[in-house]
Structure 1
């Protein structure tokens, strides 16, 4: 029995020695494939960023190219090892592979394909502020499976690409400008008119830093409610939305406080701002 075991181990050792050169060559092929994949994908990424100025699409295509080259290197290494039948089976069994991917890896395949659509359709760019369902934040990356969004309170949310593609998506910064409005209620004195209040408010917001004043984004106002003793004015302004938090939220806060202080300095009684 020991002799048979020794013979089996000896046969395995001889087979290993026979396979060792091919194994070393296969490892070299994998190492070369890894190096080529990293260099080619990095070069492609730089070229795409220089030519397209679209970091989102460039990053996605870079990652896709890297994984494709790595897969090609792995298949070549299997050919060197004499596993051509396995490699051919992986490439040739398209129907079975499609069934397996569709059944066992449905979510991964769905998110990958959704990522391809998002990369080429480009409903958003890096640093755009978007909202999907009740989630709102700045786009930081589009990966092969997920879209990374950073909320204004610093949370990082990894949304499946399929969800981003399927759900309604609101892009707050795509146009470059976004409209904001606020309501201010002012008590009317015996010699005060709503026209005078509108004039003061529009002059104030036009001179405020961050408010766009060029056509067609000039500020304007409407009388939303008026009585014999008070008037409610709604002021509409356009803000540069590249940085949504600073360009809109902080700007609106500053306009609310500044408008109230300006009117009070002019002798008006401000009953409310919103």
Structure 2
């Protein structure tokens, strides 16, 4: 028994350098392809059909690297691979074309482990997904086990799927104040926050005017991971900014008392 184990270890040792080089080539190539994809995606910002072309193209490169790595390993150990390279490359190209046309019709997974989602009113981080249950870790320290069929049968809100998220700040100003100044203050606070993205640019709109208040909404976009902290920082800066303003101030509740003289 010990001799058999020694023989196996000796065989593995003989191929140790081969395994290390193959793994290095495979993962090195995949990392290069991933970095190239992220770079092009950030520069070009593809949409629609072109975005699908990029996904399929770089996905095909991943598969091609894997296929080439396997063929190289097989050749190094002495297996007959002559003529298989061209067939493998042709198969990858044909598969990429098929996937390109089928991709819009394939079902999309609504979330993956690590995504922040809201499922049936429960907000948390997905820890695991199986055919039977979805494990959700809520932000108050609870672990929820939700039946997968029940999860998929209802609406799912995914907060991680998109790289950017919009912040909406609904502010009420006192009537009679300088509305232009109020809008300028809000716009400046968003533009000077380092987490707020330049595109799309921050915008401020008046939503309504009454005798008691002027409704204003301010929109800006941030990275999804920065959404909560940035919204909190903006609310704090808004409170401080309007405390220092004299021409326009935040609206305060008013109580009107009327009486009848008998």
What is the Cα deviation at residue 272 of structure 1?
5.3
Residue matched to 1:258: 237
Provide the TM-score with structure 1 as the length reference.
Answer: 0.49
Asked whether 1:125 is paired with 2:112, we answer yes
- Counterparts of 1:206 and 1:173 in 2: how far apart (Å)? 24
What is the Cα deviation at residue 213 of structure 1?
2.0
Provide the TM-score with structure 2 as the length reference.
Answer: 0.51
Q: Over alpha carbons, which structure has the higher Rg?
A: 1
What is the Cα deviation at residue 255 of structure 1?
1.4
Q: Which runs of 4+ in 1 moved over 4 A?
A: 50-53, 227-230
**5+ residue gaps, structure 1:** 1-42, 54-119
Q: Pick the aligned partner of 1:269 from 240, 249, 259.
A: 249
Asked whether 1:163 is paired with 2:150, we answer yes
More helix by share: 1
What is the Cα deviation at residue 151 of structure 1?
1.0
Instruction: Provide the secondary structure at the position in 2 that maps to 1:158.
Output: strand
What is the Cα deviation at residue 257 of structure 1?
2.0
Asked whether 1:142 is paired with 2:121, we answer no
Does the CA contact (< 8 Å) of 2:204 and 2:216 recur in 1? yes
- Counterparts of 1:137 and 1:233 in 2: how far apart (Å)? 31
Asked whether 1:209 is paired with 2:189, we answer no
Residue matched to 1:218: 201
- Counterparts of 1:203 and 1:126 in 2: how far apart (Å)? 38
Asked whether 1:232 is paired with 2:211, we answer no
Question: Structure 1 221/272 Cα, relative in aligned 2: closer, same or farther at 3 Å?
Answer: farther
What is the Cα deviation at residue 137 of structure 1?
0.9
CA deviation map 1:170-197 (0-9, x unaligned): 11221111222122122255xx521221
CA deviation map 1:60-79 (0-9, x unaligned): xxxxxxxxxxxxxxxxxxxx
Alignment of 1:37-186 (within 5 A): 121-186=108-173
Question: Structure 1 229/165 Cα, relative in aligned 2: closer, same or farther at 3 Å?
Answer: closer
Question: Structure 1 227/160 Cα, relative in aligned 2: closer, same or farther at 3 Å?
Answer: closer
The alignment of Structure 1 onto Structure 2 pairs a total of residues equal to: 153
What is the Cα deviation at residue 261 of structure 1?
0.9
Does the CA contact (< 8 Å) of 2:112 and 2:129 recur in 1? no
- Counterparts of 1:194 and 1:143 in 2: how far apart (Å)? 54
